[in-house]
Amino acid sequence: MSRQRDSRTTAWWCALVVVAWLVLRPVAAGAQAPDDESPAVPTRTEELIALRRAKAEALEPNEPARAEVLLLYVEDSRLLERIFNPAAGWFVQAGGLSEGSLLALGGGYRIDDSRGGAIDLRALGSIGGAWLADLQWHSDRRRENPVAASVGVAVERHANQQFFGLGPDATPEFDSDFDLDERRAGAAFMFRPTGWLTVEASGGFARFDPARLDLDFDDEDDVLGVELLSDDWSDVDLQVRQYVEGAIPALGERTRFTHAGVDLVIDRRDDARRPGWYVEAGRRWYRDADGRGYDFSATRVDVQRFLPVWRGERIVALRLRAEQVAAADGSRVPFYLQPTLGGSRSLRGYERQRFRDTNALLLQAEYRYVVNPFVSGALFAEAGQVAPAWRAMRADRLRGGVGFGLRAGYRELVVLRADVAFGGEGPRLIVALSGVF
């Protein structure tokens, strides 16, 4: 009996061993013979991950170019500031003269007065014949100081001033030019009640003397043409007609003025990206020192808005500027002191000082973007108009243009600008040593 039981037990164990061998045989075969099956194909995600890992392992430290190293050194060492605007000692200046002077270079010497202020003695000259010499003392003008003052004297020649006639209808047919010599002395007192508001009162004396008048419209043939057409002025150029009628105030006359004024500046811009508002408004009164009927007042308003776009990396800059000179009763405003439009900073599609009258309006917009820390680009559009009175301005008589340009500089300082303007009487290429606004 026990022998039969032992036989059955042995048979069951043999059966279990056979079943286990049959079940486990494929697993063991797969583990021992991997070469019998095709290798697994990696997915696209696995390939990208592997490629990134390979690139990361092959990366080497970035080696900046020589130009980049030089520019970074200039920025870190504040080299330009030490050359062009030091606290004391010799300094260099490029530009800074009126339009038409062409390339202007010069410099001066600054003496620290040990109280935060300085005395500047400066001289500039240009290849266009313009020049400036001045002496000025100013107190500490840092932003945190609520009060500041300045006193100065200057002698300046504004060379190659252009005159196309008065009014919005002046044509480019006659391109007259002249130099304007200016002597001035004055003082200013500034009060800054907050970090963003500045009020300034100023006064002084000024003398203006037109020199080297080169009038294209005073030829005998032009004047004779006016006399022959005295009954029909439609074919007579505006400049010639104004010349014959004596409608150009202070043409060839020296004028002297005492003046006083008040200016207001609101600056709500951020120092880093320059978003915010910037507003200038001022009024100045001129009294003819010789009593020849040239008393007038000058009013100026300049509103600028800077809007950050594209995550703050770019700026849309908007501007409205309005100017008016208003003669007192029985007086006129010398033509060379009337507002103008046209040139490198206003209506760039027109010649310098292309339009001139007692009232001027300018609208400008620029889209500014950074190319690198020292170069930026801009797309711009602008429109403007001059008129003998504000009520005479009309939207359909606005002059304008569009264009693009590059600016090179340091922080907010523009040291070289190149613009290409279309529209108006363009296209025109403008190269300047300063920004627009």
Mean of pLDDT values over 169-194 = 93
Whether the CB-CB separation of 161 and 178 falls below 8 Å is answered with yes
Each residue's pLDDT tens digit, 199-232: 999 999 999 999 888 877 655 555 555 554 455 5
Domain ranges of the chain: 66-216+249-432
Question: Is the pLDDT score of 182 beyond 70?
Answer: yes
Question: Is the pLDDT score of 1 beyond 70?
Answer: no
Question: Is the pLDDT score of 148 beyond 60?
Answer: yes
Whether the CB-CB separation of 210 and 252 falls below 8 Å is answered with yes
Predicted TM-score of the model (pTM): 0.79
Question: Is the pLDDT score of 424 beyond 70?
Answer: yes
In whole angstroms, what is the distance from residue 291 CA to residue 248 CA?
A: 18
Tell me the average pLDDT of the chain: 85
Predicted local confidence at residue 258, as pLDDT: 98
pLDDT band at 176 (very low <50, low <70, confident <90, very high): confident
Which class is domain 66-216+249-432? mainly beta
Question: Is the pLDDT score of 166 beyond 60?
Answer: yes
Residue 225 — φ and ψ, nearest 5°?
Answer: -65, -35
Low-confidence winner among 8-17, 201-210, 389-398 (lowest mean pLDDT): 8-17
